[in-house]
Structure 1
Amino acid sequence: MLWLEYHPLVASYARGDIGPEFATKYRLPIPQHAPFAIGYTFENNPHHYLPDFVGTLADGTPFLAEAGMEDDKRGDRNLAKAEAARRLACLQQGTFWIGTERTLTKRRHYNLVFLHARRKTFPAFSDIAAVLPEVWPWGEMAEVAEVASRLSHQFPQEMVEAAIWKVVADAAAQGHLLLDLEQYTLSRTLPLALLPPDAPVLVPSPLPDTLLPESETTRVAAIERQPSTLIPGPTFDASTLPEPQRAQFHRNLRAVEQVLAGATQSSVAEKEGIPRSTLSRLVSRTRERGQIACVPHGSYRRATSLHPAFAECIRRLFGLPTRLTMTAIREHTEMQQVAARLSKETGTPVSLPSYKQVRTAVQHLKLDPDLMAMREGAKSVARPRESAESFVLSIPAPALLTQVDEHTMDLYVVTPSGETVASRVHAAALICVKMGAILGAVLALGPLKEEDYMRLVKVCMERKDHLVGITGCEHSWPCFGKPAIIFHDRGKIFTSERARQVLVDRLGIITEQAPPYAPSAKGTVETLFRWMTERFEKRLPNSSYGVHDAETAAQAGGMTLEELERCFYQAIVDDYQRDARYDTTTTPLHPVGTGGSGVRGATVFGFTR
């Protein structure tokens, strides 16, 4: 604003962005030409903006002016605004200026503030100004302190100096101050010279009308010239790109525009430093897709033709700990189920995605570091201690992913009469991976069969109040629900056709097989059995009396199958569930919900913590 105030060719100026509401709120007068709205197009959408200043020059022509930080004014949207204002000024035979911190230097700003603060009038000014030309002739280089001393015998020293600075400020506004305000800082000891009123005015260097380099700017040769329409399609907002990619985008766009305007690809490629084959491909892709084709590779992603339901299914299968391959993901039964569901909803046959589509989707998923960390089995961020209710409500689907495994323990089981019936006990447990809660567990004297596996799933899905009561547990066992996914190894009972028919076809539970010779893939359930082996033996009769012979201890304590199951469930409910690491029953809570867990309609009930 001070630059306009002290420009000798500016006759009048006013704010162009003051509307009635703004003026009323801050009690400001509404300028004659405000608000001055200018229409422009950005990304094929019409917009309006208000310039910072509007005014009239000494010759009667209008002018528009913008001011701001250069980095902000170089944004694509602001460049579009500036181009619209520049064209409007040309249409009106006027001028457009853009002032930034680079064109309006701090030294000039300091000097203008210095003069403006000393330009106020006072009663004795006219008397001092009348005799000032006598002691300070036009064109004489003199210091303000020296000129003030020449009139100190007629007027007070302070009033003379104040009058001199006001005369200097008025001369600067009229273009008659012989001093470069860009090079020198005003002071009492700086030599100055004033030109006579009839001398030609000294005009400061004009401000630019654009911030684009000269090679990127096409001057308006005629007022009727229309914006370039060589590149079809919508524009691209380059302000969203980092600085190196933004510069490369503008370089590509400039090269394509030159080729489309008629220049040869060889000359443009040599001038811009782009391989000729790359430039040819850029021109071809820009004609098809618009400016977005000029964005450097990897900075954007084209819209995919893959259905969102397939994309979500691929993402979930890719994140499974089984680390499915691309072929396994494409041929997975869940993909077929999604296709069947979409066909039923749309009424038209929906085919599975091609292998190329799955491969492209997987390649994009590999760019997500969080997803890759989950796929590689990285440890999650430690969860702080929370209240029981808030922790439960923060889990969208506690039983979404479960693990099942069988284990053997060298324990002797006797009949009530004391006869040994088995020297090894087989156990199976189904555990929630996210919560670490045991959903179900069973014991058997012989190798586990399919019936025992079905009994385990039944225990998992039912409430366990009756089981807790008959086994004499001190605490409740509120963990139950239908799992969405059961992760198992290659055991026969888990991979049998009968188990698949019951779990997959009838119950709608997805079964996933762990890779061979990889016990770490089922680390949660493996850790559980290691803990159970240590803690369960402490509950056996005579285990704390120094009896280390298993058969003798079992016979002495009368370890029947009923007693063994009682100790087994008590170890789960009263020991495991109460352990600090696996505490899931601190406060009894109502079920979180009985709705779907988000995977094949699995019903999930709440766990307590």
Structure 2
Amino acid sequence: MENESTTPLIERGTARLPDKLWQEAERRAALIRPLAIMPIIPAMLAQDVAMKLSISQRTVYRLIQRFRASGGLLTSLAPSPPSGGRGKSRLPMVVEQIITMTIKEMWLSKQKRSAEDVAQEIKRRCIRANQEPPSFNTVRDRIRALSARETIKQREGTKAARQLSPVQGNFPAVASPLDLVQMDHTPVDLIIVDEITRRPIGRPYLTASIDNFSRCITGFCLTLEAPSAVSVGLCLVHSVIDKTNYLATLGIEGEWPIWGKPRVIYVDNGAEFHSEALRRGCAQHGIELRYRPIGEPQYGGIIERLIGTLMQHIHTLPGTTFSNIKERGEYDSDGKAILTLSELEQWLTLVIVGQYHNKIHSTLLEPPIERYKSGLLASKNLKPMVQNKKGFLIDFLPIINRSIQRHGFMVDHINYYSNALQPWIAERNKGEKFIIRRDPRDISRIFVLPPNQNEYIEVPYRTLNLPAITLWEYRESLKYLKEQGFNKLDEAAIFRAIEAMRKIVDSASASTRAARRRKARTSHLTERKTISNSQNVILSMDADLEMEYMPAKPFDVIEEW
């Protein structure tokens, strides 16, 4: 496996590929993927796919080769972007970006703006960027090329879009391991304690996933945050990676040989499962995302029974809350609590590896791990392995679009800057949009994808000695400032508020559980190295543009296992 500390973080199309090319890649993948997993491809099948895709048989074999080489990424099958010529777009990249962003902001919104309004706004933005505006017909054609279901979903709502979906039938049949994985969240029936004071801080959340074929647990994620798109991504990462190093880090002897990308993920209809980042991330990695039919609880029975089984184990631990007040009775959950979040993670891993996987399952009548291994031997399809888990996770992080300014970027009133941005700052009058991703658990850095580039740049705070904070802390600071009567928000006010809030939490943590929980939610940030300086360290924006700069190392602290 590659050394992730030195591997560049590459954008592979999930953020930038236009919808039209994305849809064509999905169409190709539906036909190419079944061929790519075959050791020998019958010529008749290749010829049939060629006819359906209106390409040559030779091109089919080239697409299969590209798909295999990429590790099964959907974007490896995308057609090359138009380069100009008969029947192709001759528009500059800047104009293409303006069209895409304006349609997304105005057409794909509940305001239901007209095509004429969208075209006028595109014209205004192009003139401001010193670009020739496209014709109305061009804008209209781009709108017509959008997915009908996605358009209705954004303009009318999910309920209206669902009317376009086919009626869902029985639960999908599974023939081999990782054909289908179910995922769900739950509050854990246990009070945990703070890492430092060992005093109670409340119940964590568990996100878990299970393989339907074998009933093996593919992965899980424990957090103090409520379920979100990020916790879904973290659980997915844990599911697909080789867990040998993970077990060694926890000091656990045993095996957890469940790794690889699932074919289908089955989830409920929670908002965290409907993010665009999750949808594109799954599509990019050849993972089909399916939703449980509303009002049909039997479709989630397997994952819910697993969660029930895990909670039964947890009910044996000191500090359990049991499943309800009646069952808990007079048991003092806070007073009995002894496990920290990391200790609970270690204990839960031991339960999975040492007990759950090796006990005879009541439905399968054999241990899940034996069912998984025998299923692998019988299956002819190799499960794609993820080589770079950091790169895998970034495909599931939310996307922000920003233009670059002389000071770099401002995201949520916080300034970010790196000398690596200087070539684009010098040409900032072009008005090009940059793609930005950030990990909500630590927003002291952002990951910036410049136009026409495929490698992310890690960009820290402009004021380097500001403390690392979470997105949750940032939002809490806005509430705090509003309560204090502040109307004008800026970076200095936000960090003064966060410092004041942290002092309040520190002084209160000895007496209140809520304060200790707030402190624990940011404890991982204290491990980050900060620049020691009595005054603010601000990166210069007037340095020599010819200076050498080293590409920043991406995602060096993203993992929290």
Q: TM-score range by the shorter chain?
A: 0.3 to 0.5
What TM-score do the two structures reach when normalised by structure 1? 0.33
TM-score normalised per structure 2: 0.35
